[in-house]
Each structure stands twice: as structure tokens, then as C-alpha cells.
Homo-oligomer: A and B are copies of this chain.
Amino acid sequence: MKKNLYDLMHPTSVAIIGASTKTGSVGNELILRATEARFTGRLVAINPKNEEICGVPCYPSIMQVPFKIDLAIIAVPASAVLQVLAECNQVGTKNAVIISSGFKEVGPEGLALENTIKQFAEENNMTIIGPNCLGVINTDEKYSLNCCFAPLQPKKGTIGVATQSGALASGIINILPTLKIGIAQMISLGNQCNINSIDVLEMWEKDEHVKQILLYLESLPNEREFREIASRISLKKPILIIKSARTQHGAQASVSHTGSLAGDDTTASGLFASSGVIRELYLRDLFNTAQTFVKCAIPQGENLAIITNAGGPGIMAADTADDYNIPLAKLTEATKKKLRAVLPEQASVINPVDVIASATAQQYRDAAEILLKAKEVDMLLVIYLYITGKNDLTIMKELQQIKQTVNKPVVAVMMTTPDFDNELIKTLPDCDIPTFSYTIDAVRSLSRLLDRKHYLESNNTSEINLKVNRASTEAVLQQAKAEGIKQLTTLQSLQIFEHYNLPVPRFGNAQSLREAKMIAKEIGYPVVLKLSSKTVTHKSDVGGVITNIKSEPELEMHWNRLMERLNVSGITDSLDGIVIMQQITGANRELVAGIIKKNDVHQMMFGLGGIFVEALHEVAFRPCPLTINDAESLINGTKAKNILGSLRGNLGADLNVLKEILLKLSALVTDFPEIMEIDANPLMIDSNGRIFVVDARIVL
């Protein structure tokens, strides 16, 4: 972490450089926001033309301010920024937020200008947010800092918001009243010439005022660092993220708009999953989830109870819970009896509990209390539909009281009139029950609570002894390097897999037909014959793989034919031998595992194999080194899991073996980072559930 970021966000004196008297200008809005927020420190404006702006004392330059300024907010034209920074530095103001645009985002000239600023900051040990940003907010009443030109003032809350889109900072502040939540801090990251999203995460890790983190990013500064810090934080506080520019359309939009480079989205999803970061694709879902995380604790169990005053919405809520695999609590007879005692005769006390249209606020309260206190209930969804007398606010008050006695998540779906949100804020400003207009949004956000619960519970820190042989592997790799080979031969790759204790079928290397026959005899027919060449990268292309050889005569025939082909092609020189391998029979389930190094991170891919790799795209990614949890979530991350159980007379696969295969492959690239690519494809599962790594390919 740049050590001054904490200081930057907690100043006792602030200068707004480029402050202006012109209504609607950025320099004016900044002054207005700062004064409206009632900044607790000393605020000055900097502008040579004025003596005060909106009641704030004004100086011609920061050099003239008679006391030390902790934080400079810079909103002057891009061309003047470097000079202003130099002045700040001269008077000991080491922290700045550069609001000004006209840098990297406008092209090469702007980029050059930005680089000079970046360099100046580094040389002078300054801490800088921006340029091209909206500003920063800290609602801690010790500071009450709002140096951001978004039009509205956010309420105090517990979320730290960092966004790579300045405008979105404003969008988020606009939506907060509707969500009935506030924020602790907001940082508009801008072009991140000095402070980036990882620095912000590091600061918030230790800040007790920030209890949830909400990120909007278009790019990741460093995947490795992000993973390390995010994995650590997410065990303590939830991190919600939108990482945009994730599609081709989006990436193009991103390039043209912000000059940032879009990463590869499949690997980004793996990175977030591995780090415990909750990814949302859409703002709607991000905000719904954020509201729920702010107001609800992680539940002890998963069973949901539903209260409704209308049958149809109750049915739809049950459907939706099913869509998100949330079990409906099976109410005990005791609970049903209690419900019957307080509800009208026509009410249904089977979950969803239908309190019927005539339900009073007291009946809602009683039903909620009984359900929240029932052991079989872990979460409560309350649906209120305005049918007869309007009861929405009274019901919310009753629910709020009950909620404070039982620490289980309660969410409400209020199908009432549009003024509900405003009235709720007025009458119950501290209501900590998330409210939604639609059941889908409520149920989905509860499912996110459960996702987090599962993540925290699955945080398996135990180690598995993988029994790998590094020294022998080292020797194979040294030999390949000595020979200048980039793609290891089939034989070398298989040997390394064996050294890493991967379940390769039995094999041997034959230099002659005689040897081939001996090996095949020892292994037992049927066998597979595989070309192992130093130059042929796709052995299938030259007919270098012959499967299902059932007898010695067949072996002889295929051996001779292959040798003829190799002679014709003139590739016998680079021959490393011919691998004779046990044929795995009765294996009609194929998986694929592979690793590719991108942006200095090894990415593990796993999923459905065979002809379906490309056709069905049922593959997922995780960054290496894999944790046990990563391996498990990879295995469960696609429909590949559906073929792992027993299926049509085939036994289920040994999941521990599969998990270890992934962990061993990960260990291999972690031990030897010079490996750029690995293919363990296919992984075949035979009818007894045994898993074999049937082919190997390693590229340095």
C-alpha cells in the first residue's frame, strides 16, 4: 500500500485548487459538496480571481495558504496540473486527488502528460488519486469529507465504494436512497496513475468503518496481487464486484472510452471465485446484493420461510426459491400449531405461509416472530401485497422490531405504491430489512448470502501430500532445454506426468519393433501407439496415434506403416521413440484439464472433454496455485460434474483422485514456472470410475 492513502482519506485541511464561482462548473460543485458535507477540518479554495467562494476563504495559490494543507483537490486544466503538483510538493502537501481530465483517456499526448505526473509523484513520494476522476468521500463524522462533484450527498454507511468509472460514482450515490443504505468511503479511481484498486483494498482491509467493499472495475492492475489481497479480505468482509468490458462489445467500448485493456473474462471469473469475491454482471444485481449484505448476517442454515398475504405471489416465490436451490423450511407441527393460533382460519400454515388478504400488521408480526424463532427456519422472506387497507409501513415497523430480537436474515417484498420507499426512509430511517419490489431480486440476493456462507465454510486450509518427484522432473526439463525443445516430446511429457504421480496408463518407449512387442506383451493388449517426436507438435496430424491395437500382428502392421509414413515425411531424425501405451477400454466419459499462462498467471482449465469441449463450452478456469477449495469448485463449476456420478451402469468417478490430478498439475507449474502450457487431455473415466490421464503435452 502507498502509505499515505489512509492520510489522504483522513485530512484535517483541504484545498480545492481550481475552485470556481461559476454555477454548475466542477470547481464550484466541489466547493458546494465540501461545504454541504460540513467538512470538520479547514477548507480553502484556490483561485487567483477570488477572495472567497461560497463562503470559503480563497487564496491565489496553495503557496499562499498560511497553514499546511493535508490534501489538495486539483481541478485545473490538464496542462496546468504538473505545475500545481509541484507547488503542492513545495509546501509539503503530499496527497492529491486530480479531478482534471485530458490525460490517458484522450490519446497519446494525454498519456505522455499523465506519465510525467506519475513520475513526479513517484519521485517526490506523493500519493495521488486520479487523474480523470470524480473525487473522494469519507462520511466518518470525524472528517465529513466530500470532495466529489457528484450532485448528491450520500448518507453515512458501512460500504467502501471504489470505481474505475467516475460517472458511476455519481450513479451509485443517486441510487443509495432507493436502496436505503449509505457509504463509509467512496473513491473514484480515475486513470489510476498512482493509487490503484489494489491499494484501496489494502487500506480498507484494516479500516473498521468499512464493512463491505463494492468495486466497479474495467481492468485489474495485477491479477496475482489482486488474488492475494482479495482472498485475505474476503474472509473478513464481503467484496462485491462488477468487472465490465467482459464481452467483445464491452471490451471494444472500453478501449475506445478509457484506453484500458480488457482482460480475458473467463479467467477473471475464475480469479474472483478463487478469491471469494462476489461477482455480479449487472448493476441491478450488484445493488440488490449490496443492500442485502449491509443489512443481513450470514444465516446459520439455508432453509427459507415465506410469509405472504396473496397466494399467487407465494407460489411464484416458491418457484423462485427452487430456481436458486434454496430449500423451503419444512415447518414442524409445533410451529404450525403456533401459527394457527394467531392466524385466521383460512390462512395456510404450510410454507409459504399465506396469512390471507385480510392480514393485520399484528398477524404479520406474530407469524414473523413464530417463524424466526423456529429452529427449522434460517431466513425469512415477507411478501406484502397492497390489496385492501394499506398496511405497508406498519408491517415494516413490526418486522423491524421482531428482527432485532432474532439475528436471522429477513427480506421484504413490498408490492405496494411507488411512494413506499420515500415514506419508509422518513418513518423508519434505520430499518435494516432490505426491501424489494420483486421477489426475484429478494430471493437472488438471499442466494448470494448463501454463496458467501458456502465460501466461508469451504475455506479448507489443510494440505494434501501430493507425493511429487521434483528432481526427476527437473532432469527431464533440463534435457529438453539443453536440446532447445519448446514443446516436450510425448515421452518427456508423459514421464513428467508420472513423476508428478498423475494416473497415466501403463506405457513404455520403443526404439524398435522388437522393443514395441516386448512392451505390448508386458502391458497386455489392446495397446495404443503414439509417436514421440521433437519436431512434430500435432502427432495426430501425421497419423502418429493408432488406438485399439489388439494383437502382435496388428502391432507389427501398424508399426511398419507408421515407419513408412515417417520415412516419406522425412521426420525420422527427430524421433524420440514410439510410446506403447495401455488402451483404456470401456471409458465413455471424457474430461479435459489444461493450464495456460496468461498475464504471468497460470490459468487452470477443467471441464467436459472430447468432442464436447468446443461444442458445449462446459469448462471453467481458476488461477494457479490451486487451493483445495479451488480444485473442488472447479470440479463443481460446470455440468462436467453431472457425468462424475454413477451413470447408466458406469460407476461414479473417484473425486479425490480427480481433485489430486488438478492439484498436481497446479503444483507442476508452480514448481516450474517456465512451463507455459499443459494439456492433460483427455482425462478418461472408465466404467469402474477410475480416472486416467491418457495424453500429455507440455510447452515451455
Measured CB to CB, the residues of A under 8 A from B are 24, 26, 29, 101, 106, 134, 149-152, 163-168, 170-171, 174-175, 177-178, 216, 218, 242, 244-250, 252-254, 256-258, 281-285, 309-323, 328, 346, 348, 350, 352, 354, 357, 385-390, 415-418, 421-422, 437-441, 588-589, 610-612, 614-617, 639, 642-643, 647-648, 650
Contact = CB atoms under 8 A, between A and B. Distances in A.
23 contacts: A149-B387, A151-B386, A151-B387, A168-B385, A171-B310, A177-B418, A178-B418, A244-B319, A249-B319, A253-B315, A253-B350, A256-B350, A281-B319, A282-B320, A418-B421, A418-B422, A588-B611, A589-B611, A611-B643, A611-B648, A614-B648, A616-B639, A617-B642
B312 A29 contact: no
Given A149-B387, A249-B319, A611-B648, 4 more contacts: A151-B388, A165-B313, A167-B311, A250-B319
A385 B281 contact: no
A245 B440 contact: no
Give the top 5 A-B pairs by smallest Cβ distance, nearest first: A165-B312, A167-B310, A247-B322, A250-B319, A249-B318
A440 B288 CA distance: 13
Contacts of A151: 386-388, 390
Nearest to A540: B649
Given A249-B319, A357-B167, A386 B616 contact: no
Nearest to A258: B311
Nearest to A29: B388
Contacts of A254: 315
A281 B438 CA distance: 12
B348 A257 contact: yes
Contacts of A316: 242, 244, 250, 282-283
A353 to B, nearest CB: 10
Contacts of A174: 385-386, 415-417
Contacts of A418: 177-178, 421-422
Nearest to A354: B257
Contact of A246 (B164, B319, B321): B319
Q: Please indicate which of the listed interface residues A152, A319, A650 has the most CB atoms of chain B within 10 Å of its own CB.
A: A319
A253 B310 CA distance: 11
Q: Please indicate which of the listed interface residues A178, A257, A316 has the most CB atoms of chain B within 10 Å of its own CB.
A: A316
A386 to B, nearest CB: 6
A616 B354 CA distance: 36
Contact of A387 (B150, B177, B285, B614): B150
A164 B283 CA distance: 33
B165 A440 contact: no
Contacts of A218: 312, 315
B639 A282 contact: no
Given A315-B257, A639-B615, A249 B346 contact: no
B611 A283 contact: no
Nearest to A418: B178
Contacts of A639: 615-616
B253 A314 contact: yes
Contacts of A106: 346
Contacts of A245: 315, 319
B352 A439 contact: no
Contacts of A321: 249
B253 A171 contact: no
Contact of A389 (B24, B253, B284, B317): B24
A574 B322 CA distance: 47
A614 B612 CA distance: 16
A346 B250 CA distance: 20
Contacts of A249: 318-319, 321-322, 328
Contact of A149 (B315, B388, B610): B388
A323 B284 contact: no
Nearest to A618: B616
A168 B611 CA distance: 48
Nearest to A348: B256
A642 B617 CA distance: 10
Contacts of A589: 611
A150 B246 CA distance: 45
B440 A282 contact: yes
Nearest to A247: B322
A168 B310 contact: yes
Nearest to A589: B611
Contact of A643 (B175, B588, B612, B642): B612
A216 B165 contact: no
Contact of A252 (B282, B318, B387, B389): B318
Nearest to A243: B319
A47 to B, nearest CB: 19
